[in-house]
Structure 1
Amino acid sequence: MPRIPIHRRPTVRVAAAVATVGALIAALTGCSGGGGSSTLDTKADVTLTWWTGQADQAETILEGLAKQYEQLHPNVTIDVSSGAPSTEDLLQKLSASFAGGNYPDISYAFGSWSSQLEASNRTLDITKQVSAADVDWNGFSGAARQTARPTGKKTIGFPAVVDNLSLIYNKKLFDAAGLSYPTDRWTWDDFRAAAKKLTNRATDTYGYGYSVSGSEETTWQFWPHLWQHGGEVLSSDGKKAAFDSAAGVEALTFLRDMAIDDKSVYLDQTDTKFGQLFAGGHIGMITSGPWQLYDLKTAKTDYGVTVLPGTNGNHETVSGPDLWTLFDHKDANRAHWAVEFTKWLTDPAQDERWNVAYGNLPLRSSETSSAAFQAQVKALPGLEVMAANSANAKHARPTVPAYNKLSEAIGDQISAVLQGQGTPEAGLRAAAAKADQALEGNGP
């Protein structure tokens, strides 16, 4: 039985760590670092440092894969560890290691950190290597590939974990309300109508649950609505917020009308309670990812999974890809083997033993036909739908250094509007103004 993935859902790092990385960028830009071999010798002994960002079962799986690689390549030693007490602590640890010159060759990183890591002037550019036919780079989702190329100039790593938001529904509540189950042709109007019928104040049952904590959970749930209406998070040059648009207003008005007019939305202040209430039969639908399925299996909830409802046939979702980021020590041998090991690690055969065995989504759609993935689907029904839904992850969340402040700005306003405070137009306008300050480097 798979464990709950350590990453659970993609997050943004707190401002203190972002500030630390930002302060280091100025000091590190232009520094050469390292001082190893400039000539590649594939037979030379090499030691790689790998920070996995994982714990418990996940860490054990990855340590086993490192040992296997060492057996296949006796000249390669991999010094593997979690790197920090938790995944969230890795950014701070990486920041300190850049300053001290003892940074790893490979590290797990949340996708939202990628532009900050590239700006550190410590990452390898592996654009040429991933274009090789044996990598199957296009087999990764578009969002994962974009996250690995945060500025479009360099490819700084391989996808490590992928996920997406899908629609999960409580079959028992749908049956009790006499409703047909959601399908992959549902529109958001279908969704709203069902949510109204599922809502029963006498039993404290709601049609839908949405986080109003103002965190990234609030924000990233909004992005598919924006994108499906043709909106964008940022301007094409990445310097201005673009969500304060007709598409943004239409998207937020829809959610506001469900919450305020229909009163069909449970507004969760905690980010986690809506999942618990869904599992317990008090919310009919949630939009969540693969990390939710283990909890539902444990609670014995009778659930189903489909893609997000669509707008004009567009069922776009949001993904939170994380990375195996590679770092440059100015050593040709270390760089070569860091790429080779990470390429091997993300090949389908190894990914089935890591992501698939652990209950995550496979990195590539080609893995869904494997016996290993089908076994997980039997244990966690709906996982196959979420894997297929990766094709609907067409946009990558922005990876600009100011994203966390942008996320806070719009997350706070979404939360306020859904609780009846202000209009969608005014809320998005205020959020955009604050986000623009942050993007210009002048935000609080």
Structure 2
Amino acid sequence: MTSIRRGRRTRLLAAASAALLLTAACTGGESDDGKDAAAGYDPAATVTLTWWTGQTSEAQKVAEGLAADYHAAHPNVTIKTSPGAPTTDDLLTKLSAGFAGGSYPDISYAFGNWAGDLAASGKTQDLTGFVADPSFAWTEMPAAARTVATSNGKVIGVPALVDNLALIYNKKLFDAAGLAYPTDDWTWEQFREAARKLTDPATGTYGTAYSVSGSEDTTWHLWPLLWQNGGKILEGTKPAFNSEAGVKALETLRVMAVDDKSMYLDQTDEKYGPLFNSGHVGMILSGPWALLDIKDAKLDYGVTALPGVNGDHQTVSGPDLWVLFDHEDANRAGASRDFIKWLTSAQIDAKWNLAVGNLPLRSSEESTPEFAAYVKEYPGGQKFFDNLANAKQARPTVAGYEVMSRNVGDGIAKVLQGAASPKEALDEAARKSADALEN
């Protein structure tokens, strides 16, 4: 069974360049005249849509099958389906170039943290009224996912995948160390103490792990700690993560990495998962995508909510999107909306996300046979589904988030490798990010 999309949370190294391309595209974009892109849509019109799925391998075959199913029910709509780019990461650059050259799809997969830059391109449809129709059942999707699909008050896409971070632990290592398993009520102090006791230099075993690649994987793991401590990522469009709450959050991680040496520091984003699966890391903060590889490793594991601060166990959700683009053709706009409404319906999503090992998009899917099969195949899946309730805030959907993320990620990496203090690193990241966020 193959997850929708590639290894989770790597990100485009050329994000800053892509953001600049998007900014350039925006200068030549359409004016915001408030006109509905689908006004005058004729459902019987013959239409060809281009769908960049962001998928490869088996997941792409599933997407192609679903496109064929839709065409069979709607013979007047042909959907040209392709991954869109060699990897999901490459889609942002491909879209940026397409905006500049006037060649871009009707629908594309997009990471949620691209939403602000894509909205700024001037090429997205405004779906606010579309999703507000009761037949869409917008509120069945998690609040954080709906927020990420919204930029400057306008809905630009529909969630394609929902997830969140939780604590996954190796029961065998806990048993060997004589430690009680983590619970949903754990504090970060308990997490730190367990990580210290699980660490064994003689066997190359670490209590926990963290990415220091400087990618979004590095950055978004800090946000739950920031929120639990009462902090904000932004205040308007100005950096706010370098507050006292932000410093405290990063210090929580620093002591494990630098003082305790109980944290494996992954330079690539790609190593800590396999190390956990092989029994060399006791706990990881990861998402439901990790369950697929854990299943293959036949690991005895458990899942709990993230450790918390004063009973606050907020997590971060990384919902990805189906972004719909405007080609000044009402029939293409309307047909793309109808297809995405169909694709993200409870009935079809069970054949898409649940079929390939991801969480369901809609709360109504919890009662389906497909969800029952999912949680049976992936122990911990129910916990991740329940943990969506702890995703109470979302990453900002503003232009410049990608640049800010890289700056914050670089700062976190410096701190965890002992090269800077939390205050120094976060202040530097805030200074570097200010211009990108205000432009």
Moved more, 116-125 or 74-83: 74-83
* Structure 1 match to 2:22: 21
Note the residue ranges of structure 1 that are not aligned, 5 or more in a row: none
Deviation, 1:58, is 1.0
CA separation in 2, counterparts of 1:76 and 1:427? Answer: 52
What do the CA deviations read for 1:294-313 (whole angstroms, capped 9, x no partner)? 21111222111111111122
Contact 1:402 1:438 survives alignment (8 Å): yes
* Aligned partners of 2:10 and 2:269 also within 8 Å: no
Contact 2:51 2:80 in 1 (8 A): yes
Structure-2 change in CA distance of 1:385 and 1:432 (3 Å): same
Q: Deviations over 1:183-212 (max 9, x none)?
A: 111111221121122122222222111112
**Which of 289, 292, 295 is residue 294 of structure 1 equivalent to?**
292
Shift of 1:181: 0.8
Specify the alignment match of 2:54 in structure 1.
53
Return the alpha-carbon distance in structure 2 between the equivalents of residues 229 and 277 of structure 1.
30
Comparing 398-407 with 338-347, greater Cα deviation is found at 398-407
Matches of 2:430 and 2:39 in 1, distance apart?
Answer: 47
CA deviation after TM superposition for structure 1 residue 99, in Å: 3.2
Q: Within 5 Å, give how 1:41-190 maps onto structure 2.
A: 41-152=42-153, 154-190=154-190
SS in 2 for 1:430: helix
* Whole-Å separation in 1 of the counterparts to 2:300 and 2:60: 31
Report the CA distance shift for 1:42/1:273 in structure 2 as closer, same or farther (over 3 A).
closer
Amino acid at match of 1:335: A
The answer on 1:343 being equivalent to 2:344 is no
Letter in 1 for 2:304: T
Q: Tell me the equivalent position of 1:317.
A: 315
Residue 212 of structure 2 corresponds to: 212
Residue 5 of structure 2 aligns to a residue in which SS? coil
Q: Distance in 2 between matches of 1:329 and 1:398?
A: 27
> 1:8 matched to which residue of 2?
7
Indicate the SS of the match to 2:99: helix
Alpha-carbon distance, 1:21 to partner: 1.5
Q: Secondary structure at the match of 2:348?
A: helix
Contact 1:12-1:113 at 8 Å conserved across structures = no
- What corresponds to 1:266 in structure 2? 264
1:219 deviates by 0.8
Q: Find out whether 1:233 has 2:233 as its counterpart.
A: yes
1:31: how far off?
9.3
**C-alpha contact (below 8 Å) 2:114/2:401 kept by paired residues:** no
User: Do the aligned partners of residues 248 and 26 (structure 1) sit closer, same or farther apart at CA in structure 2, a change above 3 Å counting?
Assistant: same
Amino acid paired to 1:394: K
Q: Secondary structure at the match of 2:389?
A: helix
Select which of 379, 384, 387 maps to 2:385: 387
Structure 1 residue 218 displacement after superposition = 1.2
Cα pair 1:169 1:285 within 8 Å, conserved: yes
Report if the CA contact (8 A) 2:184-2:305 is conserved: yes
Which aligned runs of 4 or more in structure 1 are off by greater than 6 angstroms?
A: none
d(CA) in 2 for partners of 1:375 and 1:279? 23
Identity among equivalent positions (%) equals: 57
Deviation track 1:316-363 (CA, whole Å, cap 9, x = no partner) reads 111111111111122222222211111111011100100100111111
Once the 2 structures are TM-superposed, how far is the Cα of residue 286 of structure 1 from its aligned partner?
0.5
- SS at 2:113 equivalent: helix
CA distance in 2, matches of 1:372, 1:425: 47
| Cα displacement (A) at 1:37 | 9.2
Give 5+ residue unaligned stretches, structure 2. Answer: none
User: TM (normalized to structure 2)?
Assistant: 0.94
Q: 1 CA distance for matches of 2:217 and 2:174?
A: 25
Structure 2: which amino acid aligns with 1:214? Answer: G
Amino acid of the structure 2 residue aligned with 1:184: D
Secondary structure at the aligned position of 1:206 is classed as coil
2:40 is aligned with 1:39: yes
The size of the alignment, in residue pairs, is 434
Q: Give the secondary-structure state (helix, strand or coil) at the position aligned to 1:58.
A: helix
Moved more, 98-107 or 321-330: 98-107
Give the partner amino acid of 2:8: R
AA in 2 matched with 1:362: P
Matched AA of 2:21: T
Residue 38 of structure 1 contacts residue 331 of structure 1 at CA under 8 Å; is this kept in 2?
Answer: no
Contact persistence 1:11–1:110 (CA under 8 A):
no
Q: Deviations over 1:42-76 (max 9, x none)?
A: 22222222111111211111111112112222222
In 1, distance between residues paired with 2:425 and 2:169? 30
